[in-house]
Amino acid sequence: MPSLAALHDRGFRWFFLARAITMTAGSMSSIALAFAVLGIDNSPQSLAFVLTVFTLANVVFLVFGGVVADRLPRALVIRTCYVVDILSIGTTAVLLFSGTASVPLLAVLSAVNGASSAFVMPAMQGIIPQLTTPAHLQQANAMLSFVRSATTIGGPIIAGILVATAGPAWVMLIQAAGWAIAIVLLAMVRLPAPAPSGSSFLRDLRTGWNEFWSRTWMWSICLAFMLLNAIHIGAWAVAGPYIAKNDPRLGIAGWGWVLSAEGAGILVMTLLMMWLPLKRPLRWGMLAISALAIPLAMLGLHPHAVVVAVAAFIAGAGVEVFNTGWNVTEMEQIPGDKLSRVASYDMLASFVAMPLGTLAFGWLIGHVDVATLLVTSAVIYVVIALGTMLVPSVWRMGRAEGAIAPQAVADS
């Protein structure tokens, strides 16, 4: 099948299998951590604190992770970080099983995971173009999104049931086991070692920054996502679980269904992205991502599980259009030997305000009307997302020459 052509590449097949396993296990861990914290202290401030610590550690180490991923074999970087993750996740499970877990301890372990992710994410972004051909790049990204969305559908439901019945510690054990299997599979990925950079660490950092800042489409969208991600994580990751814990119209199990519906929306759209080439990936991506405002508004206006789940399905479809369009554009437009560094600056700019978002929403939920807060956030989100299309390079950006088969080219 043309939509699965990237699986012809041996390296991508092993990488794809490893990612499928980690995404399956990881799709349950966020729910487990959220309700583990709320089980210790039923406070949005405590949950916001743990999420903030994770993001801060991630932001601090991101640019260093990008340089390391360009200097060392990327598969090796990923495997090493997975070992660190297994140790921290396993420790979390032990603390929860023994009843000795506390919010500060979970925050410290969350920081370890955040720092580890700062090295994994740039390596992941840089390794995909090494494993497949330019003609298969969109399909490869869509396939990974397909698995992510498929596991997101079932993962939150299973996690919600496990957390409600057995407790979050069991979910943590499942995640650690998935990471261990992925380490073995990634050992099968054979890639040539990167050429020695011949420059200092700081010079590599500066080179990555120059590549990032020289592209208006990149820094303008990243600046927009400084605010978009802060709004989204605050409204979705803090307000969402808090409302689910305290409003029977939604409930913990209902929140799992909502997250699964978002994954279903991504799943449906990934099927289309495997077949339908995006000639203007950034234009359609920013239009689609604005749909995230719909579930934010519904969460405030009418937090009924069915209503929010329908809105989350629509938003999930929009997320996938943006993710595929953005990843393909970045992988096509940035030189491969600098891709991890540039991706780290992209992630840094996009994530740096997220700690403020979690802290701000954790405070605001206790001091203002939650419905007004969420609806206002949704309106601001739409304005910022659509405003990026006023940037000419965002509106006009197309695919690289030869990346789309002639018969498939359409202004889609």
- Residue 213: its pLDDT value, please? 92
DSSP H or E stretch at residue 225: helix 216-232
pLDDT at 404: 56
| Rounded-to-integer distance, Cα 114 and Cα 61, Å | 9
Is 3 or 52 the better-scoring residue by pLDDT? Answer: 52
Rounded CA-CA distance 361/215 in Å is 32
pLDDT score recorded for residue 231: 93
Q: What is the pLDDT of residue 409?
A: 38
Would the pLDDT of 51 be above 90?
no
User: Exposure pattern of 264-289 as b/e (b: 16+ CB <10 Å)?
Assistant: bbbbbbbeebbebbbbbbbbbbbbbb
Mean pLDDT of the chain: 85
The span from the first CA to the last CA of the chain, in angstroms, equals: 21
Provide mean pLDDT across the span 163-186.
Answer: 87
- Stated as kind and residue range, the H or E segment containing 59 is helix 44-71
* Tokens (6 digits) for 18: 């490893």
108 class by beta-carbon count within 10 Å (0-12 exposed, 13-18 middle, 19+ buried)? middle
401: confidence class by pLDDT, cuts 50, 70, 90: low
Helices 103-131 and 305-333 pack at an angle, to 10 degrees, of 50
pLDDT tens for residues 52-100? Answer: 888 889 888 988 999 998 888 888 999 999 999 999 999 999 998 988 8
For residue 33, pLDDT over 80 is answered with yes
Whole-angstrom distance, CA of residue 311 vs CA of residue 296 = 9
Q: Is pLDDT larger for residue 3 or for residue 47? A: 47
- Res 225 pLDDT > 80: yes
Is a pLDDT exceeding 70 seen at residue 5? Answer: no
Whole-number percent of the chain with pLDDT over 70: 94
Q: What pLDDT, on a 0 to 100 scale, did the predictor assign at position 3? A: 55
Task: Set out the domains of the chain in order of their start, with CATH numbers.
Answer: 2-189+199-399 (1.20.1250.20)
Model confidence over 116-127: pLDDT tens digits? 999 999 998 888
pLDDT in tens, 107-118: 999 999 999 999
Position 139 scores a pLDDT of 82
Q: What is the pLDDT of residue 412?
A: 38
User: What is the structure's pLDDT at 87?
Assistant: 94
Read off the pLDDT band of 408 (50, 70, 90).
very low
* Spatial CA neighbour of 218 closest among 277, 117, 286: 286
